[in-house]
Amino acid sequence: MMTCSQTTDALRSIKGWRLTASFSVGGFLWVSFSRREPHRFLCISAQKITVADCIRGTVTECDAVYDEEALIAYSDAFPEEETVLAGEYGGSLPDDSGHGEQIITTALPDGLSAISFRTADGESILFYLCYPAYICGFSPDGNAMILADDGGVYVLARETNPEGGAANAAD
């Protein structure tokens, strides 16, 4: 099994991507990416609701209402936008960035799970080996990636977009 430190080091080794945030979450439930601002997502837990910015690495509290059956959320962080929930109990995030990268999850014996990042060049980087993560995948535009597990949430952002220039230029 990999420790949190080993997971962090492995995520930092992914070329073209940078770890922008890593934070603890008590009672993780859901994430919900904005489609209008795909570098931002809600993180809903039993303790509080926050919005994370994948570029800046900031995490701030916000208000939201959500429906676990319909898998939707509304938040003051994304006014007039319905976002889609994804987490351990339903919904999913894309495992393909749309830019050639993929997240590969493999169930292993003894209830363990291995998660690797496959680059557009075919290189595979194992970054998670532990009990199954709550959720792992890309943002709607493929320029951010998150992993949520018992240790918290890890957030990565693409250093440049596939066409060159800064990915998801911040406001």
Encode pLDDT of 122-141 as tens digits: 999 999 999 999 999 999 99
The CA-based dihedral angle spanning residues 154, 18, 59, 80, taken in that order and rounded to the nearest 10 degrees: -100
Helices (H), 4-46: 4-12
The whole-number pLDDT of residue 4 equals: 93
Sign of dihedral through CA atoms 83, 20, 142, 101? Answer: negative
pLDDT in tens, 20-78: 999 999 899 999 999 999 999 999 999 999 999 999 999 999 999 999 999 999 999 99
- Assess contact for 14 and 125: CB atoms under 8 A: yes
**pLDDT score at 151:** 84
pLDDT of residue 124: 98
Asked if residue 95 has pLDDT above 90, the reply is yes
Q: Is 117 a residue whose pLDDT tops 70?
A: yes
Mean pLDDT in residue range 70-96: 97
Q: Where along the chain do its domains lie?
A: 4-158
pLDDT confidence of residue 167:
53
Ranking 3-12, 24-33, 51-60, 154-163 by mean pLDDT, the lowest is 154-163
d(CA 73, CA 85): 7
Neighbouring CB atoms inside 10 A of 124's CB total: 11
